[in-house]
Amino acid sequence: MRQALLVLGLICVATTTFAQTPTPVASTAQTEAAKVEPVVTPAANTQSEPGVPTRTRALVGIALKNTLTPGDEVGNSIKPSFIWKWRSKTADTRDRFAFAYGLNSYGTEFSTPFGGQDLPTGDLRLRPVMVGADYKMPRGKWQYSVGLQAGWAINSIEDTDFYRNLVRDATGNDDLYVDARNSFVWAPKAKATYDINRRFMLQFDGAYFVANPELIRRIGGVESRSSFKADALIVKAGILFGIF
């Protein structure tokens, strides 16, 4: 009986001790960490995306220039011409208005009345310096533009020896003066360019110049003045090479 009570007492003590032993509980941080799935980080891309190709900014070249003067003295000439262009390093693909400028030069022969007939007097040379605006329309490698420019033409008269000798022989008077005043000039323009690559470019352009300079003529102290229609249609086609 005593042994049975002793065994029962040991069983009770063991049961109580097991019930009081704390069950290990995972911490909140450990629980959250267990829920987080491993994230696989992709390998870094070591190759950078290719940038926008840059172009040469200053270009020079040569073109064939056709000058038609439908004014008072109709003429037509075709000759080589130096051309140049300045552009941005990267192409702008937007249709847009842009500032424009022009440095040009052309000439036309003119005649003046003398002795009841018109005598070839010389070559009127006009050098317009103009500013204005263009509307540019890029289309792939092509770029089209139309615009209007206006400015001032610096004028001079050259090759008057033939006229001077005729007047001297006819009048015996050596007092001969022929000149042209500087004048206002304006021109509508159109242009098309084609980028062959970052250095080479084709260019086609045309413009109609409107100018009416005043001519001054003096023979033997008698001076006369008259306006001269010095309009010109100029068409050019050429190729340019980028130098930097």
CA distance linking residue 9 with residue 1, whole number of Å: 12
Beta bridge partners of 148: 133, 188
Question: Phi first, then psi: what are they for 191, rounded to 5°?
Answer: -150, 150
What residues are paired with 242 via a beta bridge?
Answer: 59
Tens-digit pLDDT profile for residues 32-45: 544 545 444 444 34
**DSSP class per residue in 130-190:** EEEEEEEEEETTEEEEEEEEEEEEEEEEE--HHHHHHHHHHH----EEEEE--EEEEEEEE
**Which of 14 and 191 is assigned the larger pLDDT?**
191
pLDDT tens per residue across span 73-98:
667 889 999 999 988 888 899 999 99
Decide which of 141 and 35 is more confident: 141
Q: Is the pLDDT of residue 232 over 60?
A: yes
Most confident of 29-38, 52-61, 160-169, 234-243: 234-243
**Single-letter amino acid code for the residue at 67:** T
pLDDT band at residue 72 using 50, 70 and 90 as cut-offs:
low
Residue 177: what pLDDT? 87
Distance CA 154, CA 181 (A): 8
Report pTM: 0.73
Give the pair of three-digit tokens for residue 101. Answer: 């400028």
Q: What is the pLDDT of residues 170-219, one digit of tens each?
A: 888 778 888 999 999 999 999 999 999 989 999 999 999 999 999 998 88
Domains in the chain, CATH or no CATH each? 58-242 (2.40.160.20)
Q: Which of 24-28, 95-99, 145-149, 151-155 is predicted least confidently? A: 24-28
List the Cα angle 162/166/110 in 5-degree steps: 50
Mean pLDDT computed over every residue of the chain: 81
pLDDT at position 47: 37
The answer to whether the beta carbons of residues 99 and 136 sit under 8 Å apart is no
